[in-house]
């Protein structure tokens, strides 16, 4: 999954924290711009929910807004560069509108803290576990006081906050926050803090409400969903999946991200058992070399990884798979790189998110240096991408003649006479719009595939 963050309070503090209710927002408009992973998308909805309670309205652009918040990502250097660039741009707006409040939220806020506040353009800096304090900090900034809140919490899950979601058919639902894995290259355990899970009954209640308000698909989110644990209800992630599938039997249920070490047989079997749990798994492998996996502290070997793939395919032969790969991690040799390509040839992923290693300050690997030259990292990345495109094109070629049940999302961007949707296996499917049958966004339609590329399937309604 692309990235995330939050601050923490104990439950008692949490309820106190709700108390100072700042209705300072009445009539004011807030625009939130989201970067990074789906957890940030979900967090932005939580921030909007918190601000909404304080009387703020959502704005659709910077031009319309009194308050502009960037919810940021720190996973790779280029993610942070993008934000610095955006802040320079926002400076022009602020010069024209001095009363505009500009805030940085999310993982970069947590990582850079006061350094961000030192920039003229930034008024408030809020880490992922302190979003309850956003109204108070915005109010302070309106009075001319810059503010920062970046404490991480062991308990904050925003369980009682109603996220302000964008209308649509797909919703993100965070089931846990933080990460305890400490992969040696990764900032997330530092920007998001310790792992903590929401309560199972509150999650299933939320799913029922989402179904009742017209959502057709949910994605349960966590950096490592397999370590979900609700002690009060003695439930693990497999229990949550089963309870979710039963609570909303007609809702499509997806989740991300699984960890190859922690993904249990029970999770895989639960997926196989319930039709409404989508047959798609994102299972990052990062490297095909056991030596590099160990250096990364991924806690599994290639053999363990392939054992999970075998189990998945035994239970769900048609399950689609995607992954994350890093090229050029410190000390990676040509042989290690070939092992990565070999693993991709063995598994044959439907999709992949592929990255060149970006050293992050404070992580364990940072101290080991960055010895693979940029051009080598880049060349290896290009090889990984080329191989993946070839494999995905071949897999999608094999889809021709098959029929998929597609959840209709709306007109395709390129051509309004065509509509798009997604298959159970998470593939984008394009099909002609058909006024006669009059299907609408959110319907399930059957599409027979007659053409494909490495990224998209095309077909006719049946």
x/- letters, 157..196, toward ligand F3S (CB under 6 A): ------------------------------xx--xx----
x/- letters, 178..217, toward ligand SAH (CB under 6 A): -------xx-x-----------------------------
Q: How far apart (Å, rounded) are the C-alpha atoms in residues 91 and 105?
A: 17
Residue 139 makes contact with ligand SF4 by CB under 6 A: no
Spell out where 24-123 has E strands: 29-34, 57-58, 67-72, 101-106
Interface residue with ligand F3S, options 8, 9, 32, 39 (CB under 6 A) = 39
x/- letters, 96..125, toward ligand F3S (CB under 6 A): ----------xx------------------
Q: Sign (positive/negative) of CA torsion 51, 56, 60, 66?
A: negative
CB-nearer residue toward ligand SAH: 245 or 312: 312
CB-nearer residue toward ligand SF4: 356 or 408: 356
Q: How far apart (Å, rounded) are the C-alpha atoms in residues 304 and 261?
A: 7
> What is the number of alpha carbons within 13 Å of residue 248 lying toward its C-beta?
26
Minimum distance from CB of 73 to ligand F3S (Å)? 3
Residue 73 makes contact with ligand F3S by CB under 6 A: yes
Minimum distance from CB of 372 to ligand SAH (Å)? 12
- Which residue, among 272, 285, 343, has the nearest Cα to 311 in the 3D structure? 272
Strand, coil or helix: what is 370? coil
Tokens of 394: 């071949």
Binds 106, which of ligand SF4, ligand F3S, ligand SAH, none (CB < 5 to 8 A, cut-off by type)? ligand F3S
In what helix (H) or strand (E) does residue 342 lie, and over which residues does it extend? helix 334-347
191 vs 4, 151, 259, 353, CA distance in Å?
8, 10, 19, 21
Minimum distance from CB of 4 to ligand SAH (Å)? 8
Minimum distance from CB of 356 to ligand F3S (Å)? 16
Residue nearest to ligand F3S (CB): 3
Cis peptide before 409 (omega within 30 of 0): no
CB-nearer residue toward ligand F3S: 43 or 332: 43
> What is the number of alpha carbons within 13 Å of residue 333 lying toward its C-beta?
5
Minimum distance from CB of 235 to ligand SAH (Å)? 21
Minimum distance from CB of 53 to ligand SF4 (Å)? 30
x/- letters, 187..226, toward ligand SF4 (CB under 6 A): -xx---------------------------------xx--
Burial (CB < 10 A; 0-12, 13-18, 19+), residue 65, is buried
Interface residue with ligand SF4, options 76, 86, 181, 282 (CB under 6 A) = 181
458 vs 261, 327, 454, CA distance in Å?
36, 32, 11
**Residue length, the chain?**
462
Chain residues that interact with ligand SF4, rule: CB under 6 A: 179, 181-183, 186, 188-189, 223-224, 259
Chain residues that interact with ligand F3S, rule: CB under 6 A: 2-5, 36-37, 39-40, 73-75, 106-107, 187-188, 191-192
């Amino acid at each position: 999954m692309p990235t995330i963050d939050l601050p923490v309070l104990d439950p008692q503090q949490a309820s106190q924290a709700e108390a100072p209710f700042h209705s300072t927002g009445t009539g004011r408009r807030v625009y939130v711009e989201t970067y990074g992973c789906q957890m940030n998308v979900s967090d932005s909805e939580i921030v909007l929910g918190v601000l909404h309670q304080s009387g703020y309205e959502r704005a659709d652009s910077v031009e319309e807004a009194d308050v502009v918040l960037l919810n940021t990502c720190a996973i790779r250097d280029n993610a942070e560069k993008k934000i610095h660039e955006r802040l320079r741009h926002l400076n022009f707006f602020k010069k024209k509108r001095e009363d505009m409040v500009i805030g940085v939220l999310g993982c970069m806020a947590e990582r850079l803290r006061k350094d961000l506040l030192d920039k003229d353009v930034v008024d408030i800096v809020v880490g992922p576990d302190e979003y309850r304090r956003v109204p108070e900090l915005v109010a302070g900034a309106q009075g001319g006081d810059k503010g920062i809140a970046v404490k991480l919490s062991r308990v904050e899950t925003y369980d009682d906050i109603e996220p302000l979601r964008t209308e649509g058919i797909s919703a993100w639902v965070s089931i846990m926050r933080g990460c305890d894995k400490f992969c040696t290259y990764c900032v997330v355990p530092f920007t998001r803090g310790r792992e903590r899970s929401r309560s199972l009954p509150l999650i299933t209640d939320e799913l029922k409400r989402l179904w009742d308000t017209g959502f057709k698909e949910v994605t349960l989110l966590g950096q490592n969903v397999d370590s979900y644990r609700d002690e009060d209800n003695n439930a693990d992630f497999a229990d949550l999946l089963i309870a979710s599938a039963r609570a909303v039997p007609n809702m499509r249920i997806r989740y991300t991200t699984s960890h190859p070490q922690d993904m249990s047989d029970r999770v895989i079997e639960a997926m196989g058992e319930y039709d409404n749990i989508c047959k798609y798994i994102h299972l990052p492998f990062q490297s095909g070399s056991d030596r590099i996996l160990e250096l990364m502290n991924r806690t599994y070997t290639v053999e363990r990884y392939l054992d999970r793939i075998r189990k998945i395919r035994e239970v769900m032969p048609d399950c689609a798979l995607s992954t994350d790969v890093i090229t050029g991690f410190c000390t990676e040799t040509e042989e290690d790189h070939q092992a990565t390509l070999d693993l991709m040839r063995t598994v044959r992923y439907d999709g992949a998110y592929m990255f060149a290693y970006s050293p992050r300050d404070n992580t364990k690997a940072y101290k080991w240096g960055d010895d693979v030259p940029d051009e080598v990292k880049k060349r290896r990345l290009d090889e990984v991408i080329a191989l993946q495109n070839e494999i995905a094109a071949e897999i999608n070629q094999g889809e021709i003649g098959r029929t998929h049940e597609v959840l209709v999302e709306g007109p395709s961007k390129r051509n309004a006479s065509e509509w798009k949707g997604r298959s159970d296996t998470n593939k984008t499917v394009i099909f002609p719009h058909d006024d006669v049958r009059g299907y609408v966004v959110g319907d399930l339609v059957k599409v027979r595939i007659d053409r494909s590329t490495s990224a998209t399937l095309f077909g006719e309604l049946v």
